[in-house]
């Protein structure tokens, strides 16, 4: 087996700064071409749910071919799940590819995630899509490069009604986020299904940021711009952060009518650093 070409950038660098993770079927060459020219912060070539069974082999080869090219953003390949007839073939393909990450669906244990990392030699983004995955998230997170909330599958696994809404997932989403923060890895919110509802997407992405997520997974290029806006700090936030950093001189003190201390200043510095990147 020949070694894959090497990229100069560290794939783990800046992972906390990825706001928009665009999923697309690896079997769709037009979608891949468009994604390379998009403003997505990461592209995930999907071999799993987005690809019909009869197209799995074609998609696998297309994904390896696609990541052999230069991309302006990191690129991941989502493999088919453990227990499927395609799982081992997908892992072997990712291992010989130039993908920056492997994405594993329905992660339910640290052992599973570590196994994918060992075989592929890639950092693994673990999708938390089941009740078992949520309960194991604290163990999974330290073995991963980050967690992705798979909200559609999670809602189905929890047997929620189709109109349940985000409130029914709140505990699960917070559990995923807590696991990621405890392990110091990024956490990404799930997809928004309504393709023509930009205001709804913007509202859900904003709510995800307020909950603490670093970014959001997407299913259409039209969702990239609103997602990037939602996860970017506003000018008012940046202005306050600059003034706080400049004004702070140690200890607890009054700023803009509120008591602040070192942890608030550190958060302001992180915000400014992220905006600069």
Does 120 or 6 have the greater pLDDT score?
A: 120
- Over range 44-54, report the average pLDDT: 96
**In contact, 147 and 135? CB cutoff 8 Å:** no
Question: Does the structure show a pLDDT above 80 at 241?
Answer: no
77-86, 169-178, 212-221, 256-265 — which is least confidently predicted? 256-265
Give residue 252's pLDDT.
81
CATH of residue 107: 3.20.20.60
Co-location of 43 and 130 in the same domain: yes
Co-location of 76 and 98 in the same domain: yes
Does 190 or 263 have the greater pLDDT score?
A: 190
Helices (H), the chain: 29-36, 56-67, 87-95, 110-120, 131-135, 137-140, 151-157, 170-183, 198-211, 224-230, 235-247, 262-276
Co-location of 60 and 31 in the same domain: yes
Co-location of 190 and 257 in the same domain: no
Give residue 125's pLDDT.
98
Q: How confident is the model at residue 205 (pLDDT cuts 50, 70, 90)?
A: very high
Co-location of 200 and 258 in the same domain: no
- The percent of residues above 90 in pLDDT, for the chain, comes to 76
- The percent of residues above 70 in pLDDT, for the chain, comes to 95
Give residue 1's pLDDT.
34
Q: What is the pLDDT of residues 116-164, one digit of tens each?
A: 999 999 999 999 999 999 999 999 999 999 999 999 999 999 999 988 8
Domain that holds residue 89: 15-230
Co-location of 143 and 268 in the same domain: no
Read off the DSSP letter of residue 222. Answer: G
Co-location of 226 and 268 in the same domain: no
pTM: 0.88
- 6 falls within a domain: no
H-helix or E-strand containing 78? strand 75-78
Number of domain units in the chain? 2
Co-location of 255 and 171 in the same domain: no
- 9 falls within a domain: no
Co-location of 242 and 114 in the same domain: no
Q: How confident is the model at residue 237 (pLDDT cuts 50, 70, 90)?
A: confident
**In contact, 212 and 182? CB cutoff 8 Å:** no
Co-location of 146 and 247 in the same domain: no
């Amino acid at each position: 087996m020949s070694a894959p070409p090497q990229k100069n950038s560290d794939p783990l660098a800046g992972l906390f700064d990825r706001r928009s993770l665009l999923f697309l079927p690896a079997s769709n060459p037009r979608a891949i071409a468009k994604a390379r020219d998009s403003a997505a912060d990461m592209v995930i070539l999907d071999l799993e749910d987005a690809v019909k069974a009869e197209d799995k082999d074609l998609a696998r080869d297309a994904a390896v071919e696609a990541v052999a090219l230069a991309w302006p953003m990191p690129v991941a390949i989502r493999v088919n799940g453990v227990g499927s007839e395609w799982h081992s073939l997908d892992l072997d393909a990712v291992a010989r590819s130039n993908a920056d990450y492997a994405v594993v669906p329905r992660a339910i244990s640290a052992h599973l995630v570590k196994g994918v990392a060992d075989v592929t030699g890639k950092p693994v983004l673990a999708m938390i899509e089941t009740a078992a995955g949520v309960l194991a998230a604290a163990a999974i997170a330290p073995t991963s490069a980050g967690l992705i909330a798979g909200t559609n599958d999670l809602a189905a696994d929890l047997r929620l009604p189709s109109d349940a809404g985000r409130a029914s997932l709140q505990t699960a989403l917070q559990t995923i986020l807590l696991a990621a923060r405890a392990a110091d890895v990024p956490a990404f919110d799930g997809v928004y299904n309504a393709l023509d509802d930009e205001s709804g997407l913007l509202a859900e992405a904003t709510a995800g940021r307020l909950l603490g997520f670093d970014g959001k997974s997407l299913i259409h290029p039209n969702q990239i711009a609103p997602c990037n806006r939602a996860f970017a700090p506003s000018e008012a936030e940046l202005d306050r952060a600059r003034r706080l950093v400049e004004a702070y001189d140690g200890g607890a003190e009054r700023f803009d009518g509120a008591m602040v201390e070192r942890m608030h200043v550190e958060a302001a510095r992180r915000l400014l650093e992220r905006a600069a990147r």
